[in-house]
A and B are shown apart, each in its own frame.
Chain A
């Protein structure tokens, strides 16, 4: 059960089962997509399964997520998103109206992202064997830029950028699900990131990017620190969080760094170009709240250190499963 929370447990699951079973040079457990060299050019291929409860929430639904999520995975690999496939697993009795609504929002999202849904599949399972509707999308994008992105490119002195205020999707869904009677002016941040990413790539030397979905920004930062063998230091006060999100997090006892986003990404860029990177992002609506949140340091390798507002240094660790208090 804990394996879905996006932290250490899912990583262990992925590494234990799939990496071992599929052994291929293109399969990197931590990357969002695989880069395939066809001889005539490079493609990026990615796939993601979407499960969310409730299916409809303020600011979007499972359809937006399924398109934007895959578009974003392609984008942060440096590719121009082009084609998607979509597969649906439906529970018997799932309302057709709801399915129409999901399909419509997928079409609209695809239009915004400039991609086409070119193939698909649908299966219906018995009542009780699924939770309404699951969507799986795969995406193909063209890697047109002569660049290499990834943790291997990350160097001490680089800057760490977050593309906008964090945690809005996760908190929105939690409030919608929890029947909590919280009145919050909050919608999911689900959005396609390809334009903002392209602008960033045009503007500055980028080392790597990753969209901060499950497990939030903290999980991405830990992946960077571990994958690159560096330390990531983050200034707590620099992390963009809207007051409504920090207020809800306070109430729910959550750390916004671990809350899921669906329209935010983390970029590591050449430290000398940090301001230019932020300026480039801010020209796009999805990057309006972009900020430099920290930097890459040589050590301690594998660690994410948060300089707190109180002047201390807290370790931001990878969550193993659902968060359990460590304090007593």
Chain B
């Protein structure tokens, strides 16, 4: 084929190109264009040498990006000419691994295909792709009685199946996954080796003859006879709690319509009222549960298969205990053949919630899961494919037709976030304390970890430390710079300070929030950043959370914030929003408080809490927007005590009366920084409560009033600085009512507004912000 005019090129493809059927695709592409050569994986991505006529090579190279497989994400294709060698075929060659001297070599030690060694420094690192929901072709097979994978729960192909959760190392090959435990049968090996097959080089390929086996275990751990899916379905129909081993860990399931079963699950999981997600058999069934707009339906049916939060239908066939007090319901579709089989058999939605006790990380190792879930689950639906990395279900909602990720985990992690500013040295950013994720970064890629949970628990901290090591190995990052929050008692901060031989960079919490939004948009600032959240330590030792900053990636200035109040009892004031009501009402009314129901409900403790606020006894000061929501929720009679983070604010949002057009006024108090007199909002809410106004209107007037105050503060800052771009971040902006009001207000003022989409606005996104701030300071 290498006749006259033949040229040869060496191609490097970077991005999400491993574990997505990229090499078979390259083979097919080479065949289509009549090009010879070879393709293989290395820790940097995919390497190719191709030989043929110029026009054919050009078409081939263009096709690498234009026709890439659905799960691939090609970030860069670089081409260099080499001497033609005159091959006749195109083949897949073995993967190359890194060697100690910084060159890449084949596993056998020989350099392959005439390729010369090149140094690690030239490479960005190959991405391990996220897990993908079962594709239509695999689903068809699992429903076809004539297929050899009929009803096989672990079918997958190059277009779907487990990835990140089973990968043990790079490059992505079967031996570097937990599928290494299973030897392929002849039929699977033929599919694996056939360039024309959908399973050509699909690393987790398997079938009933050679792959993982599903079992149903009773509460005593003994194997139940009969079809495991049928057994589990009967358990669920009998109202039992069943633990199901999924892709990223163990889940607990009950039938969603079964009130007593849902209540039993809540009691055993010790989860009082935080909403559960529901798995619907298919999109049609999902539509009976929630109102789906086209964007939500696209997210629901896409390959990432997150939980999608959408407005619950009044007649949704689920028990009230599934999502008490919530306007929305979290719905997902099956994402493995196992979940499809169970859903098809039940023909009804079932609750699927992570297999843990509240506040613990998801259980994913078999022995540990059986031990931790004993007494919680009545039966287990398990299999023998190990989970290497835990991943909870991701959680998303829609804002203005775009995805807004609230929890970024299965299906999303560890896809890198590309940034336009190269990291001068490898960075590890340790994230926050709650909803922790961390971030490792090198080159122009930031790998934000899956959601790990709250670091208060030792299990989560251990999982955090192990996951950091895993990510560093997978992505070839040896951190030289370690970024952390300023809060000295975050366990992520303590972890950072214990790392040796690195440069530590402390990043203020709200600066990191704003920077995470900038990084997601590839915007370097300066911008006006509005960071509204629960709490984060400010540089002045008070707790911030209602902040307007002028920020770029290097630094920030606090230009405005919500009025500061004491939090009587510290963390107790977070758990008991009525304490914030006491602090705020004391602030606005002093010694002549009106007699409000919230004060009546806490008659005995109220005076003590007010005195604590006044004397400052265990009452740190805060400018938090989250605590302001808490205070108003308690004043309005919506929520006095919470059982999960953000509950009062979420319930206040759910109560907003969409028809209400009023807004409470709030003054801006001139100064450096400018202060938003949030007390005005509390006073107005209290007056409305005294006048008998209903909670829905109070909630609406508060949301609209706060948004208007924020917009006015930003306008003042914009006039002073000339800045016209605003970035919105922080957990409070998960609230789409507030977000919509702030965004539309800013747009009316002709500001350009940056909001989150793929990176969570809450503390789950903070590690990315820390990483880019650390890099910006490292670059200087």
Contact = CB atoms under 8 A, between A and B. Distances in A.
B458 A174 contact: no
A258 to B, nearest CB: 11
Given A252-B612, A253-B569, A327 B645 contact: yes
Contacts of A305: 458
Contacts of A178: 611-612, 615, 617
B608 A180 contact: yes
A313 B543 contact: no
A157 interface: no
Given A174-B617, A178-B611, A252-B618, A327 B434 contact: yes
Contacts of A179: 611, 615
Given A178-B611, A326-B433, A328-B645, A253 B618 contact: yes
B574 interface: yes
A328 B491 contact: no
Given A253-B570, A253-B573, A317-B494, A328 B535 contact: yes
A182 interface: yes
Given A178-B612, A310-B358, A313-B458, 6 more contacts: A251-B608, A253-B569, A317-B491, A324-B570, A326-B490, A327-B575
Interface in A159-200: 174, 177-182
Top-7 shortest CB links A-B? A253-B569, A328-B534, A253-B572, A325-B571, A328-B535, A320-B488, A313-B458
A315 B617 CA distance: 25
29 contacts: A178-B611, A179-B611, A180-B615, A181-B607, A251-B569, A252-B569, A252-B617, A252-B618, A310-B357, A311-B270, A313-B457, A313-B458, A314-B458, A315-B457, A319-B489, A324-B489, A325-B567, A325-B573, A326-B434, A326-B489, A326-B490, A326-B571, A327-B535, A327-B571, A327-B574, A328-B432, A328-B433, A328-B535, A328-B545
B536 interface: yes
Q: Quick one: which of B568, B570, B575, B607 has the most chain A CB within 10 A?
A: B570
B304 to A, nearest CB: 27
A312 B357 CA distance: 7
Contacts of A102: none
B661 interface: no
A324 B566 CA distance: 12
A180 B612 contact: yes
Contacts of B567: 325
Given A252-B569, A327-B433, A328-B533, A315 B612 contact: no
A324 B543 contact: yes
Given A251-B569, A312-B357, A315-B457, A326 B487 contact: yes
A124 interface: no
B461 interface: yes
A328 B605 CA distance: 23
B69 interface: no
Interface residues of A, number: 33
A54 interface: no
A250 interface: yes
A155 B534 CA distance: 42
B228 interface: no
Given A252-B617, A325-B620, A310 B270 contact: yes
Nearest to A7: B489
Contacts of B645: 327-328
SS class of chain A's interface: helix, strand, loop or mixed? Answer: loop
A59 interface: no
Interface in B563-621: 567-575, 605, 607-609, 611-612, 615, 617-618, 620
B543 A315 contact: no
A130 interface: no
Contacts of B609: 251
B456 interface: yes
B209 to A, nearest CB: 41
Contact of B570 (A250, A320, A323): A323
A244 interface: no
A327 B642 CA distance: 13
Q: Quick one: which of A182, A323, A324 has the most chain B CB within 10 A?
A: A324
Nearest to B611: A180
B705 interface: no
A113 interface: no
A182 B608 CA distance: 7
Interface of A: 8, 174, 177-182, 250-254, 300, 303, 305, 310-315, 317, 319-328
A296 to B, nearest CB: 16
A163 B679 CA distance: 48
B201 to A, nearest CB: 41
Interface string B327-360: 0000000000000000000000000000001111
Contacts of B763: 328
Given A310-B270, A328-B545, A315 B618 contact: no
A320 B489 contact: yes
Q: Quick one: which of A315, A322, A325, A327 has the most chain B CB within 10 A?
A: A325
B316 to A, nearest CB: 31
B141 interface: no
A165 B750 CA distance: 63
B112 interface: no
A313 B459 contact: yes
Nearest to A302: B498
Nearest to A320: B488
A110 B607 CA distance: 41
Contacts of B534: 327-328
A65 B434 CA distance: 40
A251 B455 CA distance: 25
B615 A325 contact: no
A314 B456 contact: yes
Contacts of A319: 489
Contacts of B433: 326-328
Contacts of B536: 328
A180 B357 contact: no
Interface string B612-649: 10010110100010100000000000000000010000
B661 to A, nearest CB: 32
B769 interface: no
Q: Quick one: which of A8, A178, A253, A314 has the most chain B CB within 10 A?
A: A253
A312 B535 contact: no
Nearest to B607: A181
B624 to A, nearest CB: 8
A259 to B, nearest CB: 11
B466 to A, nearest CB: 12
Contacts of A325: 535, 543, 567, 570-571, 573-574, 620
Contact of B574 (A321, A323, A328): A328
Contacts of B456: 314-315, 326-327
B731 interface: yes
B512 to A, nearest CB: 13
A122 B436 CA distance: 54
A181 B456 CA distance: 33
A319 B461 CA distance: 18
A8 B489 CA distance: 10
Q: Quick one: which of B359, B537, B609, B618 has the most chain A CB within 10 A?
A: B618
B155 to A, nearest CB: 37
Contacts of A315: 455-458, 461, 491
Interface string B521-545: 0000000000001111100000101
B307 to A, nearest CB: 22
A303 B608 CA distance: 35
Contacts of B432: 328
Contacts of A250: 572
B62 to A, nearest CB: 49
A312 B359 contact: yes
A327 B569 CA distance: 13
Q: Quick one: which of A250, A252, A317, A320 has the most chain B CB within 10 A?
A: A252
Contacts of B533: 328
Contacts of B457: 312-315
A190 B575 CA distance: 33
B355 to A, nearest CB: 14
Nearest to A311: B357
